[in-house]
Amino acid sequence: MNADSSPAPHRVASDSFAGRGALVVGGTTGIGRATVLALAARGARVCFAGLGADEGREVVTEARKQGARDIEFLEIDVRHETEMRKLFEQAIAQLGRIDIAINNAGTETRLVPVQETTEEEFYRVIDINLKGVWLGLKYEIPHMLANGGGAIVNTSSTAGVTGIANIALYTATKHAIVGLTRAVALEVAKSRIRVNAIAPGPVQTGLLSRMVAGKVPIDAIAAQVPMGRISAPEEIAEAILWLASDAASYVTGHTLLADGGLTAQ
């Protein structure tokens, strides 16, 4: 029972997304790719975007082999509002309604002390990791307000809840995503829009490989995780889908750690 004694809306918890419109920003590789495929496999109608036309087409082909009937890709750069606006126009034209939005586009930084970073690196990681999420929210929120609600998941990181040396700029953007998620969740909490974040630990992706290449062995990173391994992108995708599902209908403003116990130490 709610504090005002009125009953909460009845929802049936289900892992099915049949017929729901889902937008994934940053869906060509890694966690985003796994999320697109997981949504499509559960019956969602999916529009996704990112860099890499070849990778995008490969995701569409794989999804259709698995039975997906309504999936479209658009290559965009999340740093540019004109391109993000074009994406939303296409998504609405395709889906009619966006019930689920995943803001996942992100990039790595070099593994160096903060004093060795450059202004160019600063603006690049801010524009992709933070501005990309902000632009997603800027267009997702009005649409969901006008259409009765929805669920949004932003991709942060364990670097968004703790300090990690030598990736200070990356860490700053991921902290910012956690704060942005909390603030926006409060802004729309009474409008049937839920806004949450996922905070993965190390994941078997190109981003991790590029970030630590030649400096830290992957095995050494895995050894730091209490579960003794690095996660697969599909494991993080499942956590994202839970946040986007009716099973999480009373969860908003939350950052879900999926890190094998890394930050519990």
Active site residues: 170
Burial 198-221 (b: 16+ CB within 10 A, else e): bbbbbbbbebbeebbeeeeeeeeb
Q: And the tokens for 101?
A: 């939005």
CA distances for 127 relative to 106, 135, 262, angstroms: 9, 10, 28
Residue closest to 209 by CA, chosen among 197, 221, 200: 221
Q: Are strands 150-155 and 45-50 parallel, antiparallel or unpaired?
A: unpaired
Cβ atoms of 256 and 197 within 8 Å: the answer is yes
Residue closest to 142 by CA, chosen among 69, 193, 208, 215: 193
